[in-house]
Amino acid sequence: RHASDSTLNRQQISNACKRKAVDSIVEKLSKIIRKEVSNYANEGNLIAPDLKLIARNIHNARMHCFPKLPTSRKEVHEILSLLDIKTNRGELFLYENDALN
């Protein structure tokens, strides 16, 4: 059984949007979707649920670029001790990581 043309079109647009979204994290979701939809010939076949699926796929692809949030205080302090955050003057940004308090 083959997928319909509208499904294939949606998948192509979705994949292109996901690539663009990961490449440029700061660009707005709606702008990415609008650009990619205008590049395809069968853009009139998309309906509102298709656009919602594309937006959700973009969001999921972007979330893979970010690290997971720590779930405990211990994890927070471990991560802070591993990071070497410096100011624009080259000084350490976090002077003291007090894991006990």
Dump pLDDT digits (tens) for 46-74.
Answer: 888 889 999 999 999 999 988 888 899 88
pTM over 0.75: no
pLDDT band at residue 16 under the 50/70/90 scheme: very high
Q: Phi and psi of 79, rounded to 5°?
A: -65, -45
Q: Phi and psi of 72, rounded to 5°?
A: -140, 165
The mean predicted confidence, pLDDT, of the chain is 84
22-43 per-position pLDDT tens digit: 998 889 999 999 998 888 766 6
Q: Phi and psi of 27, rounded to 5°?
A: -70, 140
Q: Which of 50-54, 60-64, 88-92, 94-98 has the lowest mean pLDDT?
A: 94-98
